[in-house]
Structure 1
Amino acid sequence: MASEFAAGNYRFIPAVFQYSSGAQANAGFEIERVRFDRLLPLAEGFARIAAYIRDAGRPLTAFCACELRSPAAFSEEGFRAFNLHYVKTLSEWGIFDGTTNPVARSNVCPEIDPPSEPSFYAFSFTRPSTTTSPSFVIAGGAEARGGTASYPDRIVCYRDPSPGAWREKVRFTAGEMERRLAEFGFGWKDTTGVQAYSVHDFHHALVDELVRRGALRSGLTWHFARPPVVDLEYEMDCRRVLREVVI
């Protein structure tokens, strides 16, 4: 069930300490997505984001989503260490309270020309708006079931590269996107952007697992990148954002 983050003028789907499963702007507000023309290392990116949000006349708590790029897939231990570092700034901004994190996130690893350190690709924040059209960002999700078990025990078709396994991976991930959309009362028909992340050819699964279910109503942006944890092979995110800029 979605929770309210009043300080940021949005609600969110609770997930894990490092991110939420999605953020939706409250009535009277909209989400603006800002993509950087070049990747910015984490510290520089946070500073640039803070300046941009303040210049827009908004508090730092308006920060509601981000898209990261990392040098390579993490081990489970390495991923947790990175996340503990990442949330320090969110704590300083009054967003992360030590347990609950309302900020949606995607974090993937470009296979070619990756950054030398974790970096920002894009971010989103809420701002006042007269539009009545909703806006939201659904966080990245890969083919791993929920729970506290290790990733090898939760990954769908673990280390199975067969065509049938790939259909299962895409089907599961698309289903998770649908579950998160439904938490906000939306579906694929409401999205304005869908992104997929993989270094494998998953085109044989596109028609039945994505196109027929309406996921590609606005097309698909494919990034040649891996999900952030070793042995995950496919990730997606989606959004409805009417204001997008590149800086």
Structure 2
Amino acid sequence: MTQHFPAGNYRFIPAVFQYSSGAAADTGFEVERVRFDQLLPLADGFAQAARYMQAAGRPLTSFCACELRSPAAFTEDGFRRFNQHYVKTLAEWKIFDGTVNPVARSNVCPEIDPPPEPSFYAFSFTRPSTGSRPSFVIAGGAESRGGSGSYAERTVRYRDLSPDGIREKVRFTVGSMAGRLDAFGYGWKDTTAVQAYSVHDFHAAVADELARRGAMRSGLTWHFARPPVVDLEYEMDCRRVARETVV
């Protein structure tokens, strides 16, 4: 089930207070993705995003997704503290109301040359469009089931780095992405980009769990990075965005 965020001209899949599971532009609008050539500390990234959207004639509420990079995987408590800090800007921008957050997000940790502090890699926002093609960003998701338990309780094949364990983690995550796409009425055939995040060799799972399921119609971008919480090992996100810019 999706909800509408009219101030941003997009629908979203409700999830947790720190992010939604995906955002899709309303009819008459499209998503533009803006990637920074250099990582920017969180506050600077938000400031640059605000200037870019305002220069494009768009309100701050059009901010619909972001991709972050962190120095290292968080503990559960550390992740909660980071998220409580992160959402403050979204609250100031009248996007986060204290409970519901429509903004999709990926936040991963580069294994090599990580940033010294949480930083912006990219952001997305909605803008008017004359086309009718779908436009969306699906948030990052790893091999963790939903629910109220700890990550240890909810993680698929917890701490299992065997080939079978990695394969099952990939299978679960691909299925999770497909479910999020389906919530908007879309499928892998609608994506223009798919990204994977892991420091482990998942090549053995690529043919059956990714390619044959249609997830690689536009290829696969592999980032040598860890998911944001300790002991998660494989994450993905995907999107359909016609307009992408590097600044």
Q: Shorter-chain-normalised TM-score: which range?
A: over 0.9
- Give the counterpart letter for 1:129 in structure 2: S
Q: Which runs of 5+ in 1 are unaligned?
A: none
Q: Measure how far apart 1:149 and its partner are.
A: 0.4
Q: Measure how far apart 1:30 and its partner are.
A: 0.3
Listed as ranges, the matches of 1:1-247 within 5 Å are 1-247=1-247
Distance 2:83 2:172 in 1: 25
Provide, for residues 8-65 of structure 1, a one-character-per-residue CA deviation record: whole Å limited to 9, x for no partner. Answer: 0000000000000000000010000000000000000110000000000000000000
Distance 2:27 2:187 in 1: 19
Distance 2:158 2:15 in 1: 23
Distance 2:214 2:30 in 1: 24
- Give the counterpart letter for 2:208 in structure 1: D
Distance 2:137 2:150 in 1: 27
Q: Measure how far apart 1:113 and its partner are.
A: 0.3
Q: Which runs of 5+ in 2 are unaligned?
A: none
Distance 1:125 1:160 in 2: 37
Provide, for residues 72-113 of structure 1, a one-character-per-residue CA deviation record: whole Å limited to 9, x for no partner. Answer: 000000000000000000000000000000000000000000
SS at match of 1:201: coil
Query: Size of the alignment, in residue pairs?
Result: 247
SS at match of 1:159: coil
- Give the counterpart letter for 1:106 in structure 2: S
If the length of structure 1 is used for normalisation, what is the TM-score?
1.00
Distance 2:107 2:48 in 1: 18
Distance 2:115 2:49 in 1: 19
SS at match of 2:157: coil
* Aligned-CA RMSD value: 0.3
Distance 2:159 2:12 in 1: 32
SS at match of 2:66: strand
Provide, for residues 170-229 of structure 1, a one-character-per-residue CA deviation record: whole Å limited to 9, x for no partner. Answer: 000000000000000000000000000000000000001000001000000000000000
Q: Measure how far apart 1:237 and its partner are.
A: 0.2
Q: Deviation above 6 Å: which 4+ runs of structure 1? A: none
Q: Measure how far apart 1:166 and its partner are.
A: 1.0
Distance 2:41 2:131 in 1: 34
Larger displacement relative to structure 2 (160-169 or 91-100): 160-169
Q: Measure how far apart 1:162 and its partner are.
A: 0.9
Q: Measure how far apart 1:161 and its partner are.
A: 1.0
SS at match of 1:82: helix
